[in-house]
Amino acid sequence: MALKYLHTMVRVKDLEKSMAFYELLGLRETSRKESEGGRFTLVFMAPPGQEECPVELTWNWDGDDGLPSDSRHFGHLAYRVDDIYETCRHLQENGVTINRPPRDGHMAFVRSPDNISIELLQAGDALAPQEPWASMENTGHW
């Protein structure tokens, strides 16, 4: 079961101030995604020469009343997997709850025993929808 670290996500209240802080640490913007429909911006920042180890700054355009509470800042760890269905099957068979099943063949979320949210992303293109995942409901939150 191959696994590759992708990023750590943190929520930010003020994108520009947060970016300035990470720039002071030596990180630089490596990519950005704007989502009009989701009303958020994702900015990936990493140290020069370590672009494969970014932090994802997630800024919600409409604000986030939970910030700056420490419990709202940390979002999730993200890992790319070779086969999201096989990975979820393996986790489920070992007692892990699949909080957000990979209905789309691309993304799933699970939680660690310490309640840390883990995002699993399919390497390459999304796999074709497959049961039992395609019709599985969410369990809890992620």
- DSSP 8-state class, residue 5: E
For residues 75 and 87, what is the distance between their CA atoms, to the nearest angstrom? 21
119 is catalytic: yes
Q: Active-site residue among 29, 119, 131, 137?
A: 119
Query: Considering only CA atoms, which of 68, 62, 110, 117 is closest in space to residue 90?
Result: 110
Tokens at residue 37, please?
């429909």
- DSSP 8-state class, residue 52: T
Q: Give the catalytic positions in this structure.
A: 119
